[in-house]
Amino acid sequence: MAWRAWCRMSTPLSSEEITRAKDALPGWAADSAALSKTFEFGSFREAISFMVRISFEAEELSHHPEWTNVYNRVEIRLSTHDAGNKVTAKDVELARRIERVAWVR
């Protein structure tokens, strides 16, 4: 992706754009400040392996999630700091990638 196109991805999305994105992301919650979802796995090991797998996607996008892990649960919150902690296309793209690799819903 060209640098200019990537920079434009840091522009906050409108409420309508966020709603459309959320509708295409099953189980995700959204407001102007973040996209969020909780994943529950069968074990701690599964939860950690999920986080490791997502780290590769995040690193490729150079866009890193805010997340927590407690035993088998991973809570993810996506917002873009350089856009004033608002939802941008970067967050939507990372959420899409997370959904593609998640084996639990």
Give the per-residue pLDDT at 3.
Answer: 44
CATH class of 3-101: alpha beta
Name the pTM for this structure: 0.89
Q: What residue spans define the domains of the chain? A: 3-101
Cα separation of 23 and 21, whole Å? 5
Q: State the average pLDDT for the chain.
A: 92
pLDDT band at 68 (very low <50, low <70, confident <90, very high): very high
10-57 tens-digit pLDDT? 899 999 999 999 999 999 999 879 999 999 999 999 999 999 999 999
pLDDT band at 8 (very low <50, low <70, confident <90, very high): low
Measured in degrees and rounded to the nearest 5, phi and psi for residue 33 equal: -95, -20
